[in-house]
Amino acid sequence: MASAAFGARESDSAITTKKLFYALRALFACRWIERTISQPPTEFERLLVSVADENERSWIADLLEQKAKGREGDRTNLIRQRFDAIKSELTGFETYGTRAPRPTKTGHESLDAILRQWTQ
């Protein structure tokens, strides 16, 4: 999702605020997975508080304010440093999936037993 919204860009050109948030959501979800090896929360705010630093939270608060005041297709310009940082981190996460530890699967026998007890 982030690659479609952000990854194909080769410069710090304007991007729609909506697409930028798609990329940020995916980026923060990847950070969550890397740190906790668990499914990230759906709530953007919870991701933001958990994995973004203070500088990012401040910048995103400004973006959210712009988004609330703007229209659907409004665009925002990213400074080169921020663009490069996001692009670099997204590129790193592209390979993380191949080397990330896989969650362990537990047997379903205990759940089956509970279901059988409950339905009898």
Residues 16-41: tens digit of each pLDDT: 888 889 889 999 999 998 899 889 99
**Average pLDDT value for residue range 60-85:** 88
The mean predicted confidence, pLDDT, of the chain is 83
Residues with Cβ within 8 Å of 44's Cβ and at least 6 positions away in sequence, in order, are 21, 25, 28
pLDDT category at 78 given cuts 50, 70, 90 is: confident
d(Cα 40, Cα 30) in Å, to the nearest integer? Answer: 8
15: CB partners within 8 A, 6+ apart = 5, 6, 9, 75, 76, 78
- Residue-level pLDDT at 114: 82
Classify residue 24 by burial, with Cβ atoms within 10 Å: 0-12, 13-18, 19+.
Answer: buried
CA dist., res. 75 & res. 77, Å (int): 7
Above pLDDT 70, what percent of the chain? Answer: 83
Number of domains in the chain: 1
Whole-prediction pTM: 0.74
Full domain range(s) for residue 10: 2-119
Mean pLDDT score, 33-56: 92
How sure is the predictor about 54, in pLDDT bands with cuts at 50, 70 and 90? very high
Dmax (CA) for the chain in angstroms is 63
Question: In a 3-state reduction of DSSP, which class is residue 52?
Answer: coil
